[in-house]
Structures are given as C-alpha cells and as structure tokens.
Structure 1
C-alpha cells in the first residue's frame, strides 16, 4: 500500500515503514493515545527535526517516550505540549529555526501549566479544536472565536455566544 504525504506529496510504502521496528513501536504508541494528547505530541516531535534532515524513527520513538514520561497527568501534558509547539512556532516565524535539543523547555511549560491548576480533558480538546479551526479562518472569525473561547473559559458565554 502506497501512501502520499499530505504536506510534501512524497510517496512511501506502508509496508516499508512496517519493516522498521522503531516505526512500528512509535505508530503503536501514538495509536494508543487519545487525540488530545497524540496530536500535540506529534507536532512536538517535529520541533526536534532540522530543516534539512528527517527525524529518524528511533529518535522519534525515544523522544516520544521521554516526553510522555515527563507527566503522569495526560491533560497537563497535552496542554504543555500544545503551548510548547505554539511558542516554538512563533519563534520560528521570527527567524529562530534551530531544532530543540532536549525537553528542558517542555519541562518548564509543564510546571507552569500544573501551577495554573487542573486542566480538564474537555478544555484541552476544545483548545486543540480551536487551534485547528483558527488556521482556516479570517481575522474577523479568529477574533470572534477568541472572544468566545475567553467566555467559555471564564464561564460567561456559551458555545453559541449567548450569556
């Protein structure tokens, strides 16, 4: 079975990836995670890749296991991963394109998220969905979504925008 990358359009055989033990283990690990944690983890792993080189399956597996071991609270970890990815995206847009070398920044973000209080799984899913939608919206729609999100988090406005 040949698969096509939705980003670069490169083709690869799924059977070839299945021959690599680390690739199989990483895919199994990711498949066992809730999407609210799995998606930001995949994006986080991408922060370790340099512009000119691919991340090896062995390294990706090692990094994923290390990141998952940093917190026993999946909601806190998911929020910290999402915040880390967003912060690094902003840095890269500003011209700092160096890949991450370790998990030190993520550790600090986990501490920050944990200090702010318990993050519910519903809030993580809502924030993740909002991030995906925002990238396809106009500036006006983004502003409306941001206002609604603030209202949702503060308990003032419901999902339809009503108090």
Structure 2
C-alpha cells in the first residue's frame, strides 16, 4: 500500500517502511507514546535534520530510542536530579523547542536532547492548561547558575512573545 506524506508529498510504500529495520524500530518506539505526543515528537525530530539532507530512519530510530524510555517512565534525570516528566511536560517542551527555533534562538540541526531536557526541568502543571484531575506535582529543583540563566532566558522569551 502506498501512502503520501502530508508534509512533503513524498510517496512511500507502508510495506517497505515496515520491512526496513530502523523504520520499524522508530515506528514501534513512537507507537508506545500516544497521539498528541507523537505529533509533537515528530515535529521536534525535524530539529535534528541538517538543511541539506533528510533524516535517515536509523537516525530517527536512535533519537526516538533515546527519549522513549524517559517518556514512558514519566521522569528524567538531569544534572544528578530527577524531574517529573508526564506526557504534558513532553508536549510542552517539544513546543518550546519549536518556538525557540522559530524565534531564531535555537539553530538546527540539534546534536542532542539537552535543550529539550533542560526545558522539561522547568515544566510545571501551570505551564499548560490542566484538565480536571490531571494536575501533576513538580519536585522543587536545586538552584544552579545554569538553571538561573536558562530561567531568565525563558522569562525573557515569554516576555518577547507576549509584548513584542
């Protein structure tokens, strides 16, 4: 069965996609993380694509394989601290990365998930519209120079987005 990509219009056979080891690995990893989350993740993965090339299935499988266990665990470890990372945090952080790219503050191609994970350390339930019963308590984070600097940068980014 042939399918057409809604983004680029390329045509591809699903049989080939599933027969390809890395493509199948990427699809399996993505299938376990949900719909809105998958959309955010796929958009985020575009940040790893060099402008003159396409991402290979091997690279996509590797990138998804690095974050999928953290998504399933609903927590991350960063700078020897553990932070809650429910699905809402991932969706919020994926969007923050894309917003930073659109604002010229993040230049693709990315080489690691560091920016994404750092954003997750700043996530709190108040950052998203919380549905009834879905509130998640965030653990307080230790203050470091990096956290303070990134916090100030994020505050500045929010101010720029609201007023200018």
Shared topology, TM-score over 0.5? yes
TM range (shorter): 0.5 to 0.7
Q: Deviations over 1:89-125 (max 9, x none)?
A: 3333344542111011122122222xx36999x64xx
Distance in 2 between residues matched to 1:44 and 1:27, nearest whole Å: 15
Relative to structure 1, is the Cα distance of residues 7 and 103 closer, same or farther in structure 2, using a 3 angstrom cutoff?
same
> Is this contact kept in 1: 2:25–2:61, CA < 8 A?
yes
**Normalized per residue, which structure has more strand?**
2
Matches within 5 A, 1:143-158: none
Relative to structure 1, is the Cα distance of residues 111 and 90 closer, same or farther in structure 2, using a 3 angstrom cutoff?
closer
**Normalized per residue, which structure has more helix?**
1
Question: Under a length normalisation based on structure 1, what TM-score does the superposition of the two structures give?
Answer: 0.60
Question: Under a length normalisation based on structure 2, what TM-score does the superposition of the two structures give?
Answer: 0.60
Q: Deviations over 1:18-47 (max 9, x none)?
A: 221111121122222222432222222222
Relative to structure 1, is the Cα distance of residues 80 and 91 closer, same or farther in structure 2, using a 3 angstrom cutoff?
same
Aligned length: 122
Distance in 2 between residues matched to 1:85 and 1:52, nearest whole Å: 23
Q: CA RMSD in A?
A: 3.1
5+ residue gaps, structure 2:
76-83, 135-164
> Is this contact kept in 1: 2:96–2:119, CA < 8 A?
no
Distance in 2 between residues matched to 1:77 and 1:97, nearest whole Å: 26
5+ residue gaps, structure 1:
127-163
Distance in 2 between residues matched to 1:52 and 1:97, nearest whole Å: 14
